[in-house]
């Protein structure tokens, strides 16, 4: 491919390749190697098993990552210096004094989103013992994740860091919600692929997996008391998430069952609850095929929906549960005789029926101590009385966040103009000529440029919980999952962890971020995550050489 770009050739600039970069960071320029007898120890009485498991994983990764430095000689010149370099003999983990039993990482990670404690301090000296100190096991876990990213292989079997000493004090996230959403309804993703995605999320300190589990096309979720939904709504008996699968996935997940729209598949098991099922032309009755929506004006359907939502939500550790609420098709209800009869019988308008439906479903969630989450239309387009505890996902446009905050509602940034990973692949609807509705392709640089506080007043800032990137799966499957998500989705992980100021006081820029993101991508590949390359390998080894 011919190109007329003029490249600036500069000397490689060493950089500590942490992602997300800590909010405080001091580094040196010395080499330190791991002692062959290196061990991670702790001073925690009755440590929870998942913390011990995290320690074991970190210990294994320190020796198995085998990532060489992204410089021209891949760090070969460090080998001679390492002969006389000091050794790190261990890593000591400790908790600041706590009252009562130590909670597990899972317990900490599934608390109400604003009460999680993720901060830690890390010190790596020139030899001796490194330390991680935190106020929670979740904080220790975040510290271990940072510690893992410091180490490289010199190709002779020596594991070393090259910018010791390293001091990180009170690193904690700017925003509590740092998420990724996966749609498993349009195409099915086996548990092994989802768990690999969770591993990648953990590498970049994401705090929430938003599982868009069902939609109009399929219902692959096994729900206690409602086995028929998956039996008749899944693509096949092999494409169902069993009870054990769900528990395997949801330790860091917030699930979603979209209602009342995007529910056509329920008609296969409960046709009495669905308006305009499979109606044609689908464009008249739905935003995408197949048509079909819950009969929200029916008291029977409302009870059914509340029971389904409550049944699955009870089995999930997450405090958040999304009831959807996007892309409601009014024409479907106008032409559904049963809905019109229900409205006439109750004396309600469609908007009043939607409000009653929402009060019932959200009430069922609050009864079991879950926080309802909705898409932005429920706050901005419909006459629905949302409680102040409700969380709103802003997706249509980043500009709409201010309108949600003005309603004194907490929000999660999920805008299609920054964070939709499926954009730019062309139109998936057959017979269409043109691009996808949310073109262009959303680059990592675009996501990294996002300002969570744009157009918000000082009074509205506290309503921002964070943000997430999303993969709607009309054109995605296990075959392209890793490459379409990683390392792109890591961009927002740093936006919402580090915030608007880097540890040196500068503003984030894609130019300074690129070499660190390269490093993350190569480390992901070492761990079996098929993250896509950001540049030619030649550029990745020569920091700045391919900049304008």
| Residues marked as catalytic | 327
Cα(548)–Cα(474) distance, integer angstroms: 36
Cα(394)–Cα(413) distance, integer angstroms: 5
Nearest to 16 by CA among 25, 5, 3, 4: 25
Local structure of 334: helix, strand or coil: helix
Residue 516: CB partners within 8 Å, gap ≥ 6? Answer: 15, 16, 17, 18, 19, 21
Nearest to 302 by CA among 358, 256, 375: 358
In three-state form (DSSP H/G/I as H, E/B as E, the rest C), the secondary structure along 410-477 is EEEECCCCCCECCCCCCCCCCCCCCCCCCCCCCCHHHHHCCCCCCCCCCCCHHHEEEEEEEECHHHCC
Cα(454)–Cα(313) distance, integer angstroms: 34
Nearest to 366 by CA among 323, 328, 408: 323
The tokens for 45 are 């009485």
- DSSP β-bridge partners for residue 212: 183, 256
Cα(493)–Cα(271) distance, integer angstroms: 42
Cα(344)–Cα(363) distance, integer angstroms: 25
The tokens for 9 are 């050739």
Burial-class residue 417 by CB neighbours within 10 Å (0-12, 13-18, 19+). middle
Which residue in this structure is represented by tokens 């509205």?
460
Quickly count: other Cβ atoms within 10 Å of residue 482's Cβ: 20
Tell me if 91 sits within 8 A of 34, measured CB to CB. no
The tokens for 453 are 């506080």
Cα(469)–Cα(179) distance, integer angstroms: 7
Strands (E) in 232-287, as ranges, are 253-259, 274-275
């Amino acid at each position: 491919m011919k190109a007329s770009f003029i490249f600036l050739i500069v000397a490689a600039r060493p950089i500590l390749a942490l992602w997300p970069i800590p909010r405080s960071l001091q580094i040196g320029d010395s080499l330190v190697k791991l002692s062959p007898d290196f061990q991670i120890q702790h001073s925690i009485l009755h440590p929870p098993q998942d913390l011990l498991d995290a320690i074991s994983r970190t210990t294994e990764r320190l020796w198995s990552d085998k990532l060489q430095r992204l410089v021209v000689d891949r760090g070969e010149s460090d080998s001679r210096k390492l002969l006389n370099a000091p050794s790190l003999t261990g890593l000591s983990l400790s908790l600041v004094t706590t009252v009562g039993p130590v909670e597990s990482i899972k317990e900490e990670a599934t608390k109400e989103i604003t009460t999680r404690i993720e901060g830690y301090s890390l010190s790596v000296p020139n030899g001796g013992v490194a330390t991680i100190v935190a106020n929670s096991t979740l904080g220790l876990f975040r510290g271990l994740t940072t510690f893992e990213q410091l180490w490289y292989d010199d190709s002779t079997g020596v594991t070393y860091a090259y910018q010791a000493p390293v001091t990180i004090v009170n690193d904690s996230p700017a925003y509590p919600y740092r998420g990724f959403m996966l749609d498993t309804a349009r195409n099915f993703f086996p548990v092994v692929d989802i768990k690999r995605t969770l591993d990648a999320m953990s590498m970049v300190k994401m705090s929430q997996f938003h599982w868009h589990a069902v939609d109009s096309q399929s219902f692959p979720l096994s729900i206690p008391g409602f086995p028929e939904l998956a039996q008749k709504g899944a693509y096949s008996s092999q494409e169902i998430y069993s009870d054990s699968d769900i528990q395997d996935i949801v330790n860091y997940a917030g699930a979603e069952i979209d209602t009342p729209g995007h529910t056509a598949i329920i008609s296969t098991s409960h046709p009495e609850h669905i308006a305009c099922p499979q109606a044609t032309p689908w464009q008249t009755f739905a935003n995408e095929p197949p048509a079909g929506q819950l009969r929200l004006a029916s008291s029977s359907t409302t009870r059914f929906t509340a029971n389904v939502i409550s049944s699955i939500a009870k089995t999930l550790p997450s405090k958040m549960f999304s009831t959807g609420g996007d892309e409601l098709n009014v024409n479907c209800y106008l032409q559904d005789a049963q809905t019109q009869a229900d409205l006439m019988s109750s004396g309600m308008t469609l908007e009043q029926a939607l409000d009653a439906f929402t009060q019932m479903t959200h009430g069922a969630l609050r009864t079991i101590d879950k926080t309802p989450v909705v898409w932005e239309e429920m706050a901005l387009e419909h006459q629905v009385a949302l409680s102040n505890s409700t969380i709103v996902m802003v997706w249509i446009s980043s500009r709409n966040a201010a309108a949600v905050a003005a309603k004194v509602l907490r929000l999660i940034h999920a805008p299609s103009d920054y964070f939709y990973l499926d954009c730019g692949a062309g139109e998936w609807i057959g017979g269409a000529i043109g691009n996808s509705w949310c073109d262009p392709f959303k680059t990592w640089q675009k996501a990294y440029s996002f300002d969570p506080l744009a157009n918000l007043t000082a009074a509205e800032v506290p309503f921002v919980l964070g943000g997430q990137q999303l993969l709607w799966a009309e054109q995605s499957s296990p075959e392209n999952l890793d490459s379409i998500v990683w390392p792109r989705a890591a961009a927002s992980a740093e936006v919402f962890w580090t915030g608007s100021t880097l540890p040196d006081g500068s503003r984030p820029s894609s130019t300074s971020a690129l070499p660190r993101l390269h490093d993350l991508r190569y480390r992901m590949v070492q761990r079996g995550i098929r993250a896509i390359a950001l540049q030619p390998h030649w550029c990745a080894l020569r920091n700045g050489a391919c900049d304008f």
